[in-house]
Amino acid sequence: MALASALVLAGTALAFTGKSAGNSQAQATAPKVALDETSVARDALPRGSFAPIVRRVAPGVVKIETTTTLKNISMQQFPGLNDPFWKRFGDQFGQMVPPGQLGPQREHGEGSGVIVTKDGYILTNNHVVDNASQVKVTLQDGREFTAKVIGRDAKSDIAVVKIDAKDLPVVPMADSDKVQVGDVVLAVGNPFGVGQTVTQGIVSAKNRGDMGIQDYEDFIQTDAAINPGNSGGALVDIDGRLIGINTAILSRSGGSQGVGFAIPSDLARSVMESLVQYGHVTRGYLGVMIQDVTPIMAKEFKLKEPMGALVGDVVADGPAAKAGFKDGDVVLEFNGKNVADSRHLKLTVAETKPGSTVPVKVWRDCSAKTLEVTVKELQATEQVAQNNQDNDTGTLNGVAVDNLNPQTRQQFNLPESVKGAVITEVKPDSAAAEAGLRPGDVIEEINRHPVKSADDAVRLTENVKDKHTLVRVWENGGSHYVVVDESKQTG
């Protein structure tokens, strides 16, 4: 009987507090940034030299200096000293300020930026200009400008600033989707404030995510040296075209150790256009809770390979619910693009224009089905999709369940809308505990069969021929799937 009842932002070395720059550019015309499809003739390059590319790019990369006023703070309150981002730079940042009470302070930070239009729109990182009271831009030719912050987006760590100038040198943009691992790249920026610096490397990886840096992550990884102060600078290809905005490094010392990350230019361009036109970033909203498809999940859902995003829950009255999505669907394609995993779907939905109707291919009951969904605009209180982590090990042995009644609902703070059997006990040394099942979780389905009571849960786990059991559980406001594997249980 199975059941009984160091990542670091590569920017300024100082954190900021205070009022952020305002934005009065709502409904402005978005800057037109065309993709550059030209190439530098390889035989025109001096042997072993990137000098022609640097001459093309360097004038369009600027130094950004920020000023922030801090009021009567103690060392313990000094911004950044307790922030794990800055601690990853090394202990030297914790020794920059003497102990004791400090009076009003004017703190300065430095970063980089990339000119992308001739009339002065500049891309940089949000963390470079966040909370800055003054932003100064210095061009390679020595000209200085006071810049206006047009808009900031913390979720992607992109910001747009504007200087009042004409006929400026720009760094042309490339289609970052076409970047390949192994491509030669140059990083241009202002590391440590020493002045404009160029480093060279290759694209080490693409589509890096789950780094814990920001909400929307799809980084280009490079071994080109990136250091504090490089934030907001340019990552360019061998043709001198912008493929990314340098953002962070993975380092134990605070300096470059060959693992740097850049925001793809396609994402940066999309965020910039929205910031300039609307004053904020508009993102698509689907209304589903999703998780990755593991190899064992793929087997349970009869998929040929572990790909796509598994829908664990559908938000009532959301776009997905209205389009006919069901829990247990696996999203294979969204608007004609293959969906590799749940993070990829989250990014793709976010980049979809609200109000547009797009086709979505899902895998349901061992066959593909196409749904038409009208994407809604993501509101501040909503999430495009929440990635639920699952664990495909363990069994349901050692788990006790009970019916949902007023007492158990009150005990575990469960809403009336949740149906199923509540888990009341999980043995600490059981495989179920290792799989992540906890008291208070509600079992909603077992092997795609609905669970309405504790008796249902017991019945559905008895005399199971397969050693794997697919369980849908409700936890912390949403549902997700877990595969319990009895074959891995020993003893």
- Length of the chain equals 491
Mean pLDDT of 129-153: 91
140 versus 228: the higher-pLDDT residue is 140
* C-beta of residue 218 within 8 angstroms of C-beta of residue 158: no
- 412 confidence band (pLDDT: 50, 70, 90): confident
Residue 477 has pLDDT above 60, yes or no: yes
Q: Within 10 Å of residue 197's Cβ, how many Cβ atoms?
A: 18
Q: Which residues of 239-260 are buried (b: 16+ CB within 10 A; e: fewer)?
A: bbbbbbbbbbbbbeebbbeebb
The angle formed by the CA atoms of residues 100, 103 and 107, to the nearest 5 degrees, is: 100
Q: Give just the sign of the alpha carbon dihedral 408, 409, 412, 416.
A: positive
Looking at the chain, the whole-number percentage of residues with pLDDT higher than 70 is 74
472 versus 432: the higher-pLDDT residue is 472
Q: How far apart are CA 195 and CA 117, in angstroms?
A: 23
Residue 112 has pLDDT above 90, yes or no: yes
pLDDT 10s digits, 178-193: 999 999 999 999 888 7
Residue 55 has pLDDT above 70, yes or no: yes
* C-beta of residue 254 within 8 angstroms of C-beta of residue 8: yes
The angle formed by the CA atoms of residues 9, 12 and 14, to the nearest 5 degrees, is: 105
Q: How far apart are CA 303 and CA 297, in angstroms?
A: 8
pLDDT attached to residue 227: 84
**E strand or H helix at 208, and its extent?**
strand 197-208
pLDDT attached to residue 385: 38
Which residues does the annotation mark as catalytic? 127, 157, 231
Q: Which of 276, 12, 44, 25 is nearest to 131 (CA)?
A: 12
Look at 23-32, 140-149, 150-159, 209-218 and tell me which has the smallest mean pLDDT: 23-32
pLDDT 10s digits, 352-379: 889 999 999 999 999 999 999 999 988 7
Would you call 45 helix, strand, or coil by DSSP? coil
Domains in the chain, CATH or no CATH each: 8-280 (2.40.10.120), 284-387 (2.30.42.10), 399-488 (2.30.42.10)
Q: How far apart are CA 17 and CA 135, in angstroms?
A: 14
pLDDT attached to residue 2: 54
The angle formed by the CA atoms of residues 142, 145 and 148, to the nearest 5 degrees, is: 150
Q: How far apart are CA 358 and CA 439, in angstroms?
A: 40
